[in-house]
Amino acid sequence: MEIKLAKTAGFCYGVRRAVDMAQTLADSAKPSAMLGSIIHNDHVIDRLRSQGMAVCASIDELPPRCAVLLRSHGEPKAVHDALAAGGWEVVDAACPNVTRIHTLVREAEAEGRIPLIVGDPGHPEVQAIAGWCAHGVVVDGLSGLEDWLFGDPARRELPLTMVSQTTGQSVAWKSCVEFAKKVCTNVKIFDTICNATYARQEEAMALAEECDAMLVIGDPKSSNTARLAELCRARHVKVVCIPGASELDKTQFTGLAKVGITAGASTPGWIIKEVYDIMSDENNFEIEESFAEMLEKSIKTLHTGEKVTGIVTGLTPTEVQVDLGTKHACYIPLNELTDDPNAKVEDLVKVNDEIECFVVRVNDQEGVVTLSKKRLDSVKSWDDIEAAEEDHSILEGVITEENKGGIVASVRGVRVFIPASQSGLPRGADLSTMLKQKVRLRITEVNRSRRRVVGSIRAVEREERDAKAAEVWESIEEGKVYEGVVKSLVSYGAFVDIGGVDGMVHISELTWARIKHPSEVVNVGDAVTVYVLSFDKEKRKISLGMKDRSQDPWTLFNEKYAVGSVLTAKVVKLMTFGAFAEIVPGVDGLIHISQLSDHRVEKPEDVVKEGQEVTVMITAIDQENKKISLSIRALLEEAQADREAEAAERAAEPDEVVATSDADATTVAPAFAEEAEAPADAE
C-alpha cells in the first residue's frame, strides 16, 4: 500500500504562534493559566497542562494576579475589558488573521455598516468576532445567508460588510460571495479565509482525487479538521478521521492501493509522524520526533536583515503572504516585491512557490513579519551589476526619481544614478517626464563599498543609433523611400531621422508651394515619408525630398494655361527688377518692373505688395527653362485701347436731336444747322 502525505498537513503559523506563547509562559516562573484551550487539540493541551499551565473555562476560575493566555481563536472585546478591569496580565495568542477580522468588523460598524459574519455560530472564533461589534449578524453558509436576506427584503438594501471564519470552507464562501454580489446593493466583501486553510483544503481535495482512501488526523473539536474530512468525502473516497495514533486501525485500509494522509491546523507534527510510521511500517519519516523539538522549530526567532526561505501561501493585489514555518504571519508588500509600478503580483509569484527574501521588520507583539524580496534581489544583483560594467552589457531598469543633476533608476533592486547629460533627453528638458518609465542603460561606474553606481541611457541609444545607421548606409540608394521623424528645423530646410541617420530636406523639396520657412509644412517630431535624392557615403550626407513628384506643377500649368491667358496670381516675392507671382503651387511667373504698370515705376513695391492678388496676362512661356513672363501693363494697355476705340466709335456717330417743342428744336448742334434750315430754303 502506497502512503502519500499532504505537504501542508499540521500546524499553521497561527497555531505555532499560540503554542510557542503557551510554552514560553509555562517555562516562566510566574503563575499562568489558559482561558479555555488555546487550540483544538487535547494532546497538546494535556502536555501543556503537565508542564504546569492551568486551563480555566471562565474568568471566574482564573487565579488572581496570574498571566492569562488567550486562545488562538480570539476572544470577544468584553473578555479583554473584563481581564483589564480585574488586573490580570493578558497574553493574547489570537491568530493575526483573526485579529484582523476583529478590526474589520469594528471599523465597519464605526462606518455605519452591518458586519455579516459567515461561519459556524457555535465556533469560538466566530463568537469572538461577533463580540467585537454590537450588531453583527452570523450566518452559517449559503442557506443561512439566503434566509437572513430574504427574511426581510429591506436587508438587501443595507450597507453590509461581509467576512468569513478563517477556517471556513472555500467553496461555500465563494458561493456566499457570488450570491451577495447578485442580491445586495451595498456590500463590501473581505476574503478572510486563512490562506493556509485554502492551501490545505485544495491539497486535500487533490490528494483525495488520486487515492482510494483519506486518513484525516485531528481533534474532533477542530473545525478545519472536520472540513477537511467533508471535502474529501465529496470526492467519493473512503474517509477515516482519528485524533491520534492510538485510535488508528490499519485494517480499515486493507486491500487499498493508495492512502492519502492530511491533518488539521491544530495537529502537531509528532502525532502525524506516529500515524505515518504505523501506516507505512517504517520509521524513516522525517518530522518532529518530540514535542520539544516541534516547539523549538515553531519558536524560531527572526531578526531584521536575516535571509529566510518560505513558501508562498497567498496573493492579494498589494502583498504576498509567506509561511516561514514560524509563529509569525509573514508578508511581502508589493513595493518590496518589485519596483515595476505596473507589475501584477500574480505575474511574479505563484502560490506554493519557494521564495527567498530579507526580514525587514519583526513585530512579535502582533506576530507579523514584513519581508522584502526586492532587497535580497538587490544584494544578489551587485555581482550582475559589476559584471555588466566589465562586459559592457545592457541592463533594464525603471526610473524611480528625479535627482539633482539627473535621474535614478532601479536596476534589479540596485539604485543607479544617471546624469542628466546621459539621460538621452536634450539639454534643459524636463527629466520628470521619464519617471516610472522602463529604460535600457549601460553601467559606466561601480563603487560597491560606497554603494554607488552610475549608468548611461545615452550610451545605449548612441550604440543602437550607430547600428541602425550602419544598416541605412549599407542599403541606401537613390529613390528609396523611408519613414522618418523630423529632428530639427533650420531656415533652409528640415533634418529628418530615417533610422539612425539624419538627412536634409531642403526647403524647396518640402512642398511645391513657395514657403518662407519649413515650419509652414512640418514641425519637430512629425512622422514624414521621404525619399533619397542623392547621398555621399564619404561625407555622410544625404539629400532627401518630400514633395510629391507624381504631381509636377509645370505639367498642371501647361494643361490649364497658355500665352495670352488671363488669370489671378499671388505676389510672392519682390525683386529690384520686378515681382514674382504664383500661378499654381510650384510655378511662378515674373512680372518685369516694366510690366507692372502703364507708367514708369521706380520700385516694384510702389505698385504691388507681397501677398497681394493681381490680374495678369501670360505674355511668354519658355518651356525649356520653365520660365513664364507675366504682365499687368498689357492688360492695362489693352483696357486703354478698348476705351479709346469705344470713344472713337461714339465720336463717329451723329449727335441725337432731342426736342419737345418748336422752341426747343432751335437748340441744335452746329454740324446739323444747315440740314435743319434746308427745308425752309427749299420752300
CA distance 442 to 627: 58
Which single residue is written with the C-alpha cell 540608394? 477
Which residue of the set 75, 125, 319, 582 is catalytic? 125
Residue 543 is given by DSSP the state E
pLDDT band at 137 (very low <50, low <70, confident <90, very high): very high
H-only helix segments in 285-344: 291-298
pLDDT at 262: 92
CA distance 614 to 561: 16
Average pLDDT over residues 8-18: 76
Is there a catalytic annotation at residue 483? no
Residue 518 is given by DSSP the state G
Q: Are 215 and 252 in contact (CB under 8 A)?
A: no
pLDDT at 290: 42
Work out whether the CA dihedral 453, 458, 464, 467 comes out positive or negative: negative
Type of residue numbered 138: V
pLDDT at 453: 92
Average pLDDT over residues 179-193: 89
Cell output for 239? 474517509
pLDDT at 656: 53
The per-residue pLDDT for range 394-418, each reduced to its tens digit, is 999 999 999 888 999 988 878 899 9
The values of phi and psi at residue 497, to 5°, are -85, 120
Average pLDDT over residues 363-371: 74
pLDDT at 655: 58
pLDDT at 327: 63
The per-residue pLDDT for range 591-627, each reduced to its tens digit, is 999 999 988 889 999 999 998 999 999 999 998 888 9
Cα Rg of the chain, angstroms: 48
Average pLDDT over residues 547-551: 75
pLDDT at 9: 78
Chain mean position to CA 311? 27
CA distance 561 to 205: 90
CA distance 372 to 357: 5
Q: Residue 385: how many CB atoms within 10 A of its CB?
A: 20
Res 659 pLDDT > 70? no
Torsion on CA atoms 239, 240, 241, 242, rounded to nearest 10:
-160
Res 341 pLDDT > 80? no
Kindly give the pairing relationship between strand 187-189 and strand 160-164.
Answer: parallel
The values of phi and psi at residue 48, to 5°, are -65, -40
pLDDT band at 110 (very low <50, low <70, confident <90, very high): very high
pLDDT at 365: 58
Q: Which of 163, 176, 86 is nearest to 130 (CA)?
A: 163
Residue 606 is given by DSSP the state G
H-only helix segments in 314-394: 345-348, 373-391
The overall average pLDDT reported for the chain is 84
The per-residue pLDDT for range 414-444, each reduced to its tens digit, is 889 999 999 888 888 888 899 989 999 999 9
pLDDT at 661: 47
pLDDT at 366: 60
578 torsion bin: left (phi>0), alpha (psi -120 to 50), beta (else): left
pLDDT at 6: 85
CA distance 630 to 617: 6
Res 109 pLDDT > 90? yes
End-to-end CA distance of the chain: 166
Pick from 137-141, 234-238, 262-266, 662-666: least confident: 662-666
CA distance 315 to 350: 8
CA distance 555 to 629: 17
pLDDT band at 116 (very low <50, low <70, confident <90, very high): very high
Type of residue numbered 47: R
| DSSP letters for 170-224 | HHHHHHHHHHHHHH-SSEEE---S-HHHHHHHHHHHHHHHH-SEEEEES-TT-HH
Helix (H) or strand (E) holding 305: none
The per-residue pLDDT for range 90-103, each reduced to its tens digit, is 888 888 888 889 98
Burial 592-610 (b: 16+ CB within 10 A, else e): bbebbbeeebeebeebbee
pLDDT at 288: 38
Q: H/E/C letters for each residue in 440-502? A: EEEEEEEECCCCEEEEEHHHHHHHHHHHHHHHHHHHCCCCCEEEEEEEEEECCEEEEECCCCE
Kindly give the pairing relationship between strand 613-622 and strand 566-575.
Answer: antiparallel
CA distance 80 to 679: 149
Q: Are 475 and 501 in contact (CB under 8 A)?
A: no
CA distance 226 to 200: 12
Res 295 pLDDT > 80? no
**From the DSSP assignment, how many helices (H) and strands (E) are in the chain?**
18, 32
The values of phi and psi at residue 83, to 5°, are -65, -40
Cell output for 230? 467533508
Interhelix angle 13-27/291-298, nearest 10 degrees: 110
| DSSP letters for 409-439 | EEETTEEEEEEGGGSSSPTT--GGGGTT-EE
Q: Are 279 and 250 in contact (CB under 8 A)?
A: yes
Q: Residue 519: how many CB atoms within 10 A of its CB?
A: 12
pLDDT at 43: 81
Res 113 pLDDT > 50? yes
Helix (H) or strand (E) holding 504: strand 502-506
pLDDT at 408: 93
CA distance 390 to 412: 17
Interhelix angle 195-210/170-183, nearest 10 degrees: 120
Q: Are 95 and 328 in contact (CB under 8 A)?
A: no
Res 275 pLDDT > 90? no
Cell output for 406? 539627473
- Which of 165-169, 366-370, 548-552 holds the top average pLDDT? 165-169
Chain mean position to CA 588? 55
Average pLDDT over residues 176-204: 86
Helix (H) or strand (E) holding 57: none
pLDDT at 220: 85
Residue 225 DSSP SS3: helix
Angle at 18 between CA 26 and CA 58, to 5 degrees: 75
